Amino acid sequence: MSGMSAGRSAMRMGPAELVQAAAMARRFYLEGKSKIQIAEEFGVSRFKVARVLETALERDLVRIEIRVPAELDAERSDALRARYGLRHAVVVESPAEAEETPDPENLGEVAADLLGELVNEGDVLGLAWGRSTIHMAAALDRLPPCTVVQLTGVYDAGTAERGSVEAVRRAAQVAGGDAHPIYAPMLLPDAATAAALRNQTGIARAFEHFDKVTVACVSIGSWEPGISTVHDMLSDEERAHYASLGVAAEMSAHLFDAEGRRVGRDLGERCITVKADQLRRIPEVVAIAGGQRKGPAIDAVLRSGLVTSLVTDTSAADYLMTAGPAPKSALNRSDPDGV
């Protein structure tokens, strides 16, 4: 008789068991009570509570759903993080009509939310020039008290107030902290002019904060017109020269080949920008870049070891997941050049 009863119990739960299981599941999943607390309330062992909760899942009495906002692709995000060894990877659904558009504006909105998580009180936040970082700053609505410093000069000094300078001011306003903008072009005619500008009081003060930056936000550009501001600032002859060196990507006026090695280092001598070695020492460097056309450039920069986290979209993520052999972990922060 007991054997038959046990068999029936194994096949289905009676009404009393169902009611008890539902009550235990409610306590555990909704009210946050521990198994020991539930055991004490119902006068059973915690082991029985564990069995009941397990059975409730098996019998579909309890359903657990993992839900994220519709625009976030959790599966691609996790796969991309694992492939490149990133600290954080956030993949945003790219609109079908904008798959070829680099850096959709919604990347900036998601990056703003991510910075709200990553930045802590007392941090120094660095912002490099880029359309995506400008969109990010415009979307910021929360930041703990922190200092904000500009990491690069501007694309066009005439548009500084509407570009990265305004982005730095906006972020500092949200954080209630000090702002250190740079009122200077990113690219200068020669190294001597760039060196002279770096010594100017306001710019030198911003540069003094570069080694104190704890979280940085950067953009990535492909080496083609309209997708790299540095590419667009150079002459045709200069573009051809750097292209001959195998440039695949640009970030903060630093050039990279497809393997993530830095090339054309002489360009940096003419630029107002944070040094690559300084970026490598920053604990958290978040890159914002997306669009299918930017896939190879994003891959190159991730292989450089300068970036720890990425905000991108599904079209770029699909390219990255099949872009050659898996690279070393980005958190290794090693220089592909070995120097």
pLDDT digits (tens, 9 = 90+) for 175-185: 999 999 998 88
pLDDT for the residue 191 = 92
In the predicted model, what is the mean pLDDT of residues 235-244? 89
Average pLDDT value over all residues in the chain: 86
Give pTM, 2 decimals: 0.77
pLDDT per residue as tens digits for the range 124-150: 999 998 888 888 999 999 999 999 999
Which sequence spans correspond to the domains of the chain?
15-59, 72-332
**Which amino acid type is present at position 49?**
V
pLDDT for the residue 156 = 59
What one-character DSSP code corresponds to residue 93?
Answer: P
Spatial separation of the C-alpha atoms in residues 112 and 102, rounded to whole Å: 18
Q: Quote the percentage of the chain above a pLDDT of 70.
A: 88
pLDDT confidence band for 71 (50 / 70 / 90) = confident
pLDDT for the residue 159 = 45
In the beta sheet, which residues pair with residue 91?
312
Burial label for 164, CB within 10 Å (0-12, 13-18, 19+), is buried
CATH topology of 15-59 equal to that of 72-332? no
pLDDT for the residue 66 = 61
Cβ partners under 8 Å of residue 199, min gap 6 = none
The dotted CATH code for 15-59 is: 1.10.10
pLDDT confidence band for 295 (50 / 70 / 90) = very high
Position with higher pLDDT, 16 vs 209: 209
**Which amino acid type is present at position 67?**
R
pLDDT confidence band for 269 (50 / 70 / 90) = very high
In the predicted model, what is the mean pLDDT of residues 263-285? 94
pLDDT confidence band for 39 (50 / 70 / 90) = very high
pLDDT confidence band for 160 (50 / 70 / 90) = very low
Position with higher pLDDT, 2 vs 256: 256
Instruction: Answer yes or no: is pLDDT of 28 > 50.
Output: yes
The dotted CATH code for 72-332 is: 3.40.50.1360
Of 8-17, 24-33, 158-167, minimum mean pLDDT range = 8-17
Instruction: Answer yes or no: is pLDDT of 8 > 60.
Output: no
Instruction: Answer yes or no: is pLDDT of 200 > 80.
Output: yes
Spatial separation of the C-alpha atoms in residues 45 and 260, rounded to whole Å: 57
pLDDT per residue as tens digits for the range 87-132: 999 999 876 655 556 667 788 889 999 999 999 999 999 999 888 8
CB burial of 78-87 (b: ≥16 within 10 Å; e: otherwise) equals ebbbebbbbb
Instruction: Answer yes or no: is pLDDT of 233 > 90.
Output: no
